[in-house]
Amino acid sequence: MSEAEIIQFANALFDEVDSDKSGTVDITEVRAAMQKVAQAFNATVSEEDVANSMKTMDTNGDGIVTREEFLNLVKSSFGK
């Protein structure tokens, strides 16, 4: 995947997770997205899983995930 394709994918995913269209993602939206994925695999998500995911994404610790934080995480996941 090229960096442009990764950015396009990450932006689309962010827009889907940002259910209130605020331009940021909070823990409620992270929880909902994780539960949706888990349900597709007949699995469960604990509050600890949600908190850990939020901590990983929210690099400045302000309680919300910006598009930039999200893009950086997705890009690093692809080694970019």
Q: Using CA atoms, how far apart are residues 14 and 17, in angstroms rounded to an integer?
A: 5
The pLDDT score that the predictor gives to residue 20 is 97
Number of domains into which the chain is organized: 1
What is the model's pTM? 0.85
**pLDDT band (50, 70, 90) for residue 1:** confident
* Alpha-carbon distances, residue 22 vs 36, 56, 77, 80 (angstroms): 20, 20, 24, 27
The pLDDT score that the predictor gives to residue 14 is 96
> Residue 72's domain is classified under what CATH number?
1.10.238.10
**Domain ranges, residue 20:** 3-77
